[in-house]
Structure 1
Amino acid sequence: MKFTTAILMAALTFAASAPTLAEDDEGAPAASWTAVELNGKAVDGLTLDFTSDKASGTGGCNRFTGPISIEDDAIQIGPLASTKIFCEGKSETEAQYFAALEAARSFTTDGALVSLKDESGKVILKFKK
């Protein structure tokens, strides 16, 4: 399964026109993405970094971390843990972002964009490299 995940991550990165995959400290493939759309609305400052089994990033204010599993076009993120700093005006978007990450069940690629979809197939997040 780890080999399948590594192959999928490499394909995902190359499909999104990334130059190469970086490696984390343990030698696992790693990628970094920036969210451009959340539930159909443009967003800024939301990131997702992942290796073959760990996800992390920022919700615009707080950092998060949690497990990630990718197999074929299926994805499972979370449960997520995050810092709990209050940032005025960012809490609602951040809560929606964390919920969307945990609700993601599949993904598609289109050029330099990756879309995460919920269980019903609705696009809930779009990322760019």
Structure 2
Amino acid sequence: MHILSKMAALAAVAMLAGACCPCRSYQKKTRRPLTGTEWQLVQLNGRSIQPEAGRFTITLRADDSQISGMGACNRIFGSYTEGEKRALKIGPLASTKMMCPADAALERQFTAALEATTHYDMDGPMLLLLSNGELKAIFQAKPAATEDSK
């Protein structure tokens, strides 16, 4: 009976691994590079954020380790450092000083979450920013510009 339970467990593991193949294939096919991709904020501190064109975006440039983007109404910019095991340090950040009273608090939370980042993870087209294991922000890769859209 002992050998049968081992065989059943092995069969269950094999079925689970086979069932996950489409997940891995999707993730691999939809994954975008950390640098050079424009990322759109979709969740901040556990709160869903409705994506709006030109708002709450970031782009990390590989050539000069600079980050740039847009908050609610202010441009943000600064530097970042990548380390081993997906370590990521963003900031200090600077921004323009336009008045956007309706979303000023949300913009402050956005830049605070970026500057608190210690690590990142990726899941298909999603970028997850973490601070000491706590999920701070989720971004979705914006579609790459095509020749037709230029």
| Residue equivalent to 2:60 | 50
| Residue equivalent to 1:124 | 136
Contact 2:31 2:124 in 1 (8 A): no
Contact 2:92 2:115 in 1 (8 A): yes
- Tell me, yes or no, if structure 1 residue 95 matches structure 2 residue 108: yes
| Residue equivalent to 1:110 | 123
- Tell me, yes or no, if structure 1 residue 34 matches structure 2 residue 46: no
Q: TM-score, normalised by structure 1?
A: 0.76
Q: Per the alignment, in what secondary structure is the counterpart of residue 101 of structure 2? A: coil
Q: State the one-letter code of the partner of 2:56.
A: L
Distance, in Å, in 2 between the alignment partners of 1:88 and 1:70 is 33
Q: How does 1:81-92 map onto structure 2 within 5 Å?
A: 81-92=94-105
Structure 1 or 2: more strand by fraction? 1
| Residue equivalent to 2:12 | none
* Structure 1 segments unaligned to the other structure (5+ residues): 1-13, 22-28
Render the CA deviation track for 1:55-85: whole Å, top value 9, x for unaligned. 0101121001000111231001100010011
**Taking structure 1 as reference, are residues 90 and 38 closer, same or farther at Cα in structure 2, changes over 3 Å only?**
same
Q: State the one-letter code of the partner of 2:96.
A: T
Distance, in Å, in 2 between the alignment partners of 1:39 and 1:123 is 7
**Taking structure 1 as reference, are residues 88 and 118 closer, same or farther at Cα in structure 2, changes over 3 Å only?**
same
Contact 1:64 1:83 in 2 (8 A): yes
**Taking structure 1 as reference, are residues 50 and 16 closer, same or farther at Cα in structure 2, changes over 3 Å only?**
farther
Offset at residue 31 of structure 1 (A): 2.0
Q: How many residues in Structure 1 have an aligned counterpart in Structure 2? A: 107
Q: TM-score, normalised by structure 2?
A: 0.66
- Give the RMSD, CA atoms, in angstroms: 1.9
Distance, in Å, in 1 between the alignment partners of 2:116 and 2:74 is 19
Higher Cα radius of gyration: 2
Render the CA deviation track for 1:14-62: whole Å, top value 9, x for unaligned. 958257x6xxxxxxx6221101000001113210011120001011210
Q: State the one-letter code of the partner of 1:63.
A: R
Distance, in Å, in 1 between the alignment partners of 2:97 and 2:72 is 12
Distance, in Å, in 1 between the alignment partners of 2:36 and 2:118 is 20
| Residue equivalent to 1:78 | 91
